[in-house]
Structure 1
């Protein structure tokens, strides 16, 4: 999956130990969530073979002619907002207004549910003929992340906060998801400085000789190499707001100057779209829908960037 490309610069935490409520792992998780906002997660049981198949299928899709990929662009999507699904070409998304549009391509999925709720689909995606194995891998890995990894991690975060393990569960009966495969071209791929907007993100990096992801943690920017067997987890603005700033959503960017292209797989996880959240410790309640819609308006309409991008220099 992810080969070792350097010394870990972030905490390395075992999901198996968290699920077993081992005190040392929970203490490590608390420290990472309070001070780093990013950590490596190991012992997560995601299928290595499935991840490799997904990465290869995504690479093949991004190699298709642009005219073919545009058949699955935002203007072809039927859900609301239409920017929540489908293909976006190079320089189509702006994650930081000062940096301008990012030099990357991406393809977004979600959890497809009937009805007209925001961010629920349906999706217009490439079929098996055009992109062999891509959707099958994407949805299979989605199931592994959402049904196994995320519930254990969510309950561990609650436990680390000295809350009941199921404290967050009522807001995740039907969680909301933006699932993304991103492609960064050789020598010039970028994603501007930003924070993620949701509860948390699970990120799988393609193993390459040098890191392209940079994270601002403990007062400095750090290059984040891959670690064999690990995925990355970072907290989002919604969780920071939910915990009244006790847990941190951390700025990050991609600067990809390596001689080969880079593919990454991300799962941006939010509560139920109709959830009304009261911050732990007090403060005005807010809804998942308002948080997500404001963020998508900032990215796609106002071009002001993602998350707290406007606060980052």
Structure 2
């Protein structure tokens, strides 16, 4: 299995008329999402310099911040100080996938909750983002805004791919309840594996929302995508492209026509790997049910019941910080 390429450039400008370029992009997106669930996205329009600045910002902070500085923005359970159970810095081993600790550190960021209070205590996911410093906040806020425009463009491409009006998904994604992770992966050395039994850089999982736009450094052989035969295929970075994958909401929306493919990170290199995924999600209150056109293409019966995205996300996040009992 190899990851296909999709060119999103015909959809970057909203409101442009139908064209053969749009049809070609939509067909390549349909095939990639149906057959693999992962692809390289080119023609995205986000400058290389911007991407490099984001990665450099993460690397510098992760490698130079003191334990005390990291503790200032540490994730806290909801109801304690400025914690909301999800946002903030996570030390190595704190994030959990399928009950197993992951060998990475990260800062987790989320869109503002539509009913967030002005002051603590906060309910889960209702708090403010915990930024390392104003410069980090400015760089990431600008970058995330650019990726959100890209996500909306890819939703327009998806609509055409499914023979729907190009703006069909706009009410469901305006605004997107996006998620962003700034992640640092130390080398998964034998000593680290012994100290973290059963864990990998990030365990096998699928993503929760619509699209994941992965920005990563040049490290190869770390991101693994599960193939149809159950084996693992490297999704190595390609210059000028994002690695993009389908999330659970798109799989449910398309009644399983598009694949939310399982993937993991196993970083065995000697370097400190940095990655910044931005998860383009539906709105918090968006109700997601299988599209009739997709039900017709997948046997005529809905495979999923309706779900409100925010409720689905809360259920997933609740399991991200609790390991299986030894």
What TM-score range do you get, normalising by the shorter chain?
Answer: 0.7 to 0.9
Partner of 1:311: none
Q: Structure 2: how far apart are the matches of 1:238 and 1:194?
A: 14
1:127-138 to structure 2, matched below 5 A, reads 127-128=133-134, 133-138=135-140
In the TM superposition, what is the alpha-carbon distance from 1:175 to its structure 2 partner? Answer: 1.2
Query: Would the aligned equivalents of 1:211 and 1:226 in 2 still touch at CA under 8 Å?
Result: no
Q: Does 1:156 align with 2:177?
A: no
1:278 alignment partner in structure 2: 289
Aligned to 1:308: none
* Inter-CA distance 82–303: structure 2 relative to 1 (3 Å threshold): farther
Residue by residue over 1:118-163, the C-alpha shift from the partner in whole angstroms, topping out at 9 and shown as x without a partner, is 64541222224xxxx32221111101011x2111101101111111
TM-score (norm 1): 0.85
Out of 273, 276, 279, the position equivalent to 1:268 is 279
Give the Cα–Cα distance (whole angstroms) in 2 for the partners of residues 121 and 41 of structure 1. Answer: 32
Instruction: Look up the SS of the partner of 2:245 in the other structure.
Output: strand
Is residue 216 of structure 2 the alignment partner of residue 205 of structure 1?
yes
Which among 207, 212, 226 is matched to residue 196 of structure 1? 207
1:187 Cα offset (Å): 4.0
Tell me which of 8, 11, 18 is aligned to 1:15: 8
Q: Tell which deviates more after alignment, 60-69 or 293-302.
A: 293-302
Report the equivalent of 1:94.
96
* Pair 1:50-2:50 in alignment: yes
CA contact (8 A) 1:190 1:254 kept: yes
**Which residue of structure 2 lines up, in the alignment, with residue 290 of structure 1?**
311
In structure 2, distance between residues paired with 1:43 and 1:65: 39
Alpha-carbon distance change, 234 to 40 in structure 1, aligned in 2, over 3 angstroms = same
Matches within 5 A, 1:162-201: 162-188=163-189, 190-201=201-212
Matched, 1:144 2:137: no
Is the counterpart of residue 123 in structure 1 residue 133 in structure 2?
A: no
Does residue 234 of the first structure (1) align with residue 236 of the second (2)?
Answer: no
User: 1:284-312 CA deviation, whole Å, 9 max, x = no partner?
Assistant: 321011110111122234769xxxxxxxx
Q: Superposed, which structure 2 residues align to 1:36-115 within 5 Å?
A: 36-63=36-63, 64-75=65-76, 82-97=84-99, 100-112=100-112, 115=115
Q: Which region of structure 1 is more displaced relative to structure 2, 21-30 or 220-229?
A: 21-30
Q: RMSD of aligned C-alpha atoms?
A: 2.4
- Which of structures 1 and 2 has the bigger CA Rg? 2
Distance 2:26 2:126 in 1: 33
Q: Distance in 1 between matches of 2:224 and 2:156?
A: 28
1: CA distance between counterparts of 2:232 and 2:59? 28
- Secondary structure, aligned partner of 1:44: coil
Cα distance in structure 1, aligned partners of 2:74 and 2:222: 26
Contact 2:96 2:319 in 1 (8 A): no
State the match for 2:121 in structure 1.
none
Is the 1:77–1:124 Cα contact (8 Å) retained in structure 2? no
Q: Provide the C-alpha distance between the structure 1 equivalents of 2:277 and 2:205, rounded to a whole number of angstroms.
A: 15
Residue 250 of structure 1 corresponds to: 261
- Greater RCO, 1 or 2 (C-alpha within 8 Å, sep 6+): 1
* Offset at residue 276 of structure 1 (A): 1.7
